[in-house]
Amino acid sequence: MVKISGSPGPKPTSVASVDTPVTKAPSAATVATPRRTSSASSMAAPVAAGAKAPAQRKMEQQLSALPDGPMRQALQKALSSGMSPDDAGAVATALGRLSPTQQKDLAALLSKAGVSTKASPRTDADAERTFLLKAVAGGASGATLKRLADQIRGRPPSNQGFSFNPMSASTGTLAGPLKRAAPASAVDTAAAALKAAMDDIWGTDEDAVFKALEGLDASQRKQVAQKYEKLTGTSLQDALNLELEGADLKRALEALEGQAKAAPTAPVKAATKTAAATAVPAATASDIQKNLDAIVVKTKDEGTIQRGNAVELNDIIPRNVAKWEPPKAHVYNPLKKAVEARNKAQAAVNAATTEPAKKAAQEKLKAADQAVQAQGEKLKAWMKEEKHLKTNPSLRSAMAEAKLAERALSKLEKQQKKAKVPKDPVEAEKFKQTQKTALDAAKTKVTDAQAKVKTVKDGLIARIDNYSPMVDVRQTRSDVTVNGVTVRMRDGRETPYTNSWNAVDGGALTGDSEEQVTSQLEKSGISEDRQKILGSISGLEGTFSKVNTWDIGRVSWGFAQWTLGADGNGTLAEFMRDLKKTNPEQYEKHFGKFGIGIDGKGVVLTRPDGTVLKGVEAAEAIRTDVKLAAVFMAAGADSDMQAAQVTYASEGKITAARNTTVSVPGKDAEGKATTVKLRLKDVVTSEYGNAIMADLAINAGSGARVAKAALEKYVKDKGVDPAKVKEWGPDAEKAVIAALEGASRSERVKHHTKAGFSKATGSFGD
C-alpha cells in the first residue's frame, strides 16, 4: 500500500477569468478574537416559549460564552437539526476549552462541512457537522479531527447518522448521544490504534503503529493481535507485512515479537556558534500558506488544439527501451507532424474566401486526414509487436503470475516424482490421491493464469485497434510570479512521451537561456571538456529553469532535467538532498518556504493545513499544482541556483561515474592470480566515452553501472593482467563505449556524436 502521513492536499483551483491574477480568498478558518456576548444575542439557540428547562438554560449560557464565528454558527445549526441540549452543552464546554489555534483549525473544518449553504451543497452536511462537533466533545482535536473530517467526507453516510466509529476505542462511539466512555484497556486501545493507523483508505501512520506496539508486555502483545484480528478479520502480522516495508516493517515485527530495543539516548552536545550560524528554521504551516498566497497566477485559455494521441500510446506502452529499433519517438514523430500538417490544412479551409480556394483547401485537408490515419496505422502496428506489447504493466503482471504458477507446478511435479510411496496399499492410495489433488490444483492455477494473460492481451489489442491517432486537447497558458521571477508554462504539450494532457512545461521569462548556460559553465571553473559535455547534455535537456511534468519522471527540472521519478526519490531528490546539506539557506529560499522538503526516502510536501505528503503522493501533488511547478522554474532563474546545478552535475554525475571502482581479477606477469581495484576513469579516458557515460548517468541514472558491468565482462573474457591497464585499457574502452551506446537512446548518441567529441585515448582533460 502507498503510505501517506495525511490526506492529499486540495487540487489547484482553475481560474475562470482570462489574464486575471489569482489571489487566495481569506481563509474560512479565520476566527474572530474570542469575546463574550449576551444571552440575548441573535446567535443564541432558539427556545420554546414559556419556562425553560435547567439543561436548556445551562446550554444557552454555554453557547452565549462562545465567540461569534463558524464554531458558534455550526453548533446553532446542529441544534436546529435536532441535537439535544445536553449534547449541545457538552459540545459548547469542549469548544470553550480549545486553544486559539485549535479553534482556528476547527473553524476551517466546520466551514467546509457547511456552515453556509454556499460552502457545502451536500445533503449530509448537517450530519457531518454534528459528527465533528460530537468528536470534539469526545476529545478529538488537531490532526485526529482533520483525519475524521476527511474520512467522513470520503464515505458520506447520507442519513445513516454516522453509526460507524472511526475513533480509537478510548474515545467512545460518536453516533448516538454523548456518553462518558468506560476506561479502555491497554489491549483495546492498542488494537484500535493499530486499526486506525493501518486504515486501507488513508495509508499507514508508521509512528502510530510503533507507538501502539512498543512497550507492551508478552501477554498484551498476544491479546492485541487477537483483538486486532477480531476487529478487522485480518491477522496483525499479515497486516503489518502488507502495510509496511523495509526498516519500518522490521521494527514493527520486532515490537510484535518482543524484540524491540530501546533507542539509545543521544548524548547532549553543547551548542556551537557554527551550528547556530548555519541553522535554518523550517517554515511553519502559516508561513507556507503566506508564501503560497504571495504567488500570483495569470492564466489564458488558448483554445482547443488537435494533437497526436500520445497519452493513450504512453498508457498502453509506457516504457521507452533504448534498444528498440525503431524507437518510440521515431515512430510517433511522423504522426505528430501529420497532425500539425492537418491543422494547417484546416486553417487554410477556414481562411479561404472564394469557392475555388475553399475547394482546393478542402482537397488538401482530405489528403492530410488520410496521412494522419496512415501514420496512425503504422503506430498501431508498432504497438502490437510482441516486444512492445510485453512492456505494458498489466500484461507484464499477468505474465509474471503465469510464470510463477508454471514454476510452482514444475517444482511440485519434481517433488512428487522423488516422493516415496507408502508400501501399505491403503496408505499408498491415499498418498496418490493427495498428490493428484495437489497436482490438479497447481495445474488449475496455471490454466487460470494463462487465461488471464490471454484476456489482458486481447484487451490491449482491442484498445490498439480502437486507437484514435488524433485528439482534441484544451490548452491553457499560465504566467506565474514567484519570488519576483515570472515564469510561463502551458499544459496540453505534446511529445512522444507525454502521459498527461494536464501536465505542464515551461520556464522563466528572464534570467535563463542557452547563453546563460554557456556563461555559467564558463564561470564554474570546471575543465573545458566538462563544460563541453554538460553543454551538449543541456542541448538535449533544456536550460536551468526548464520544467516539464508530462512523462513518467513526474517532475523534471534544470539543465540536466533531473526528475522526481516514479517513486518520488529520483535524481532531482538527490540534488535537493545535496543542496539542503551544502547550502540550507538557498534550499529554504527556493523550496522549503513553500513546503517542499526532502528526506532519505524522497520528496516531502507539507501543506498549509499541516498535512504531510511523501514520495509518490508528494511528487504527484507538485506535478499537478501550477504554483509548485512554478516554484522550481523560478528557482532555476537564480544565478546561485544555476551555479549549484553546474557543480552538482559535474561532481555528482561526471566525477562520481569516473571514480566508480571496479575489481579487476586476473593473472600477473608470473601467472599468479591477482586482483586490482581500478576506477572507471583508468579505462574511460576519451572525451566521447566520458560524454556518453555522463549522459547516461544524468538521463537514466545508469552510466556508471553500465560501464562497470561492461569492463568486468571484458577483463573476464580477455584474462588480462590487471596491473597493465595502459596496455589493454584502450581496447577495453571500446567495449565499454559499445555497451554505453547500446543502453542509450539512439537520438542521444547521435546528438553527442555530432557535437564532435574525440574518441582518442586520453583525449578527456579532467
**CA–CA distance, 264 with 696 (Å, rounded to integer):** 42
β-sheet bridge partners, residue 304:
474
Which residues, including other chains, have CB under 8 Å from residue 450's CB and lie 6 or more apart?
402
**CA–CA distance, 661 with 677 (Å, rounded to integer):** 6
Report the share of the chain in percent with pLDDT over 70: 77
Q: Is 22 within 8 Å of 162 (Cβ atoms)?
A: no
Mean pLDDT (whole number) for 705-713: 93
Q: pLDDT tens digit string along 370-420?
A: 999 999 999 999 999 999 999 999 999 999 999 999 999 999 999 999 999
* pLDDT winner (highest mean) among 228-237, 262-271, 517-526, 741-750: 517-526
294, pLDDT greater than 80:
yes
Per-residue pLDDT at 310: 96
**CA–CA distance, 95 with 631 (Å, rounded to integer):** 38
Report the share of the chain in percent with pLDDT over 90: 55
Mean pLDDT (whole number) for 287-294: 94
CA within 13 Å, CB half, 205 = 20
The x, y and z cell numbers of residue 586, run together, are: 538557498
Residue listed under C-alpha cell 584502450: 730
The x, y and z cell numbers of residue 395, run together, are: 500484461
The crossing angle, in degrees rounded to 10, of helices 206-213 and 186-197 is 160
Residue listed under C-alpha cell 502496428: 381
**Quick one: 585 exposed, middle or buried, by C-beta within 10 A (0-12, 13-18, 19+)?**
exposed
443, pLDDT greater than 90:
yes
Mean pLDDT (whole number) for 480-503: 94
Q: pLDDT tens digit string along 9-43?
A: 333 433 333 333 333 333 333 333 333 333 333 33
Per-residue pLDDT at 12: 40
Which 3 state secondary structure label does DSSP give 13? coil
Mean pLDDT (whole number) for 200-222: 72
Per-residue pLDDT at 488: 97
Q: Which run of H or E residues covers position 196?
A: helix 186-197
Considering only 227-241, 402-416, 615-629, 744-758, which range has the smallest mean pLDDT? Answer: 227-241
Which 3 state secondary structure label does DSSP give 392? coil
* pLDDT winner (highest mean) among 131-145, 165-179, 267-281: 131-145
* Of 666, 746, 736, nearest in space to 707 by CA: 736
**CA–CA distance, 595 with 333 (Å, rounded to integer):** 38
Q: pLDDT tens digit string along 543-578?
A: 999 999 998 899 999 999 999 998 899 999 999 999
Q: How many Å separate Cα 256 from the centre of its chain?
A: 30
DSSP 469-520: SEEEEEEEEEEEEETTEEEEEEES---TT---TT-EEEEESSS--HHHHHHH
Per-residue pLDDT at 113: 54
Pairing verdict, β 562-563 and 556-557: antiparallel
Q: Which run of H or E residues covers position 203?
A: none
pLDDT band at 663 (very low <50, low <70, confident <90, very high): confident
The residue with greater pLDDT, 182 or 358, is 358
* Of 654, 645, 482, 655, nearest in space to 559 by CA: 645
Mean pLDDT (whole number) for 242-260: 72
Q: Is 693 within 8 Å of 743 (Cβ atoms)?
A: no
**CA–CA distance, 92 with 137 (Å, rounded to integer):** 8
* Of 583, 535, 527, nearest in space to 698 by CA: 535
Residue type, 304: T
φ, ψ for residue 56, nearest 5 deg:
-65, -45
**CA–CA distance, 522 with 374 (Å, rounded to integer):** 48
| Cis, peptide link before residue 326, omega less than 30° from 0 | yes
3-state secondary structure 366-383: HHHHHHHHHHHHHHHHHH
β-sheet bridge partners, residue 599:
602
Q: Is 503 within 8 Å of 492 (Cβ atoms)?
A: no
β-sheet bridge partners, residue 377:
none
Q: pLDDT tens digit string along 135-154?
A: 777 666 666 566 666 555 44
Considering only 116-120, 698-702, 707-711, 738-742, which range has the smallest mean pLDDT? Answer: 116-120
Q: pLDDT tens digit string along 214-232?
A: 878 777 888 888 888 887 7
**CA–CA distance, 408 with 398 (Å, rounded to integer):** 15
Per-residue pLDDT at 382: 97
Q: Is 250 within 8 Å of 241 (Cβ atoms)?
A: no
Per-residue pLDDT at 252: 82
**CA–CA distance, 509 with 499 (Å, rounded to integer):** 26
Considering only 98-102, 111-115, 440-444, which range has the smallest mean pLDDT? Answer: 111-115
**CA–CA distance, 430 with 407 (Å, rounded to integer):** 25
pLDDT band at 177 (very low <50, low <70, confident <90, very high): very low
φ, ψ for residue 17, nearest 5 deg:
-85, 155
**Number of helices and strands in the chain (H, E):** 31, 12
The residue with greater pLDDT, 524 or 88, is 524
Considering only 44-48, 556-560, 597-601, 751-755, which range has the smallest mean pLDDT? Answer: 44-48
CA within 13 Å, CB half, 377 = 5
Per the rule left: phi > 0, alpha: psi between -120 and 50, beta: everything else, 283 is beta
Per-residue pLDDT at 676: 87
State the Cα angle at 735 between 731 and 739, rounded to 5°. Answer: 160
**CA–CA distance, 537 with 481 (Å, rounded to integer):** 28
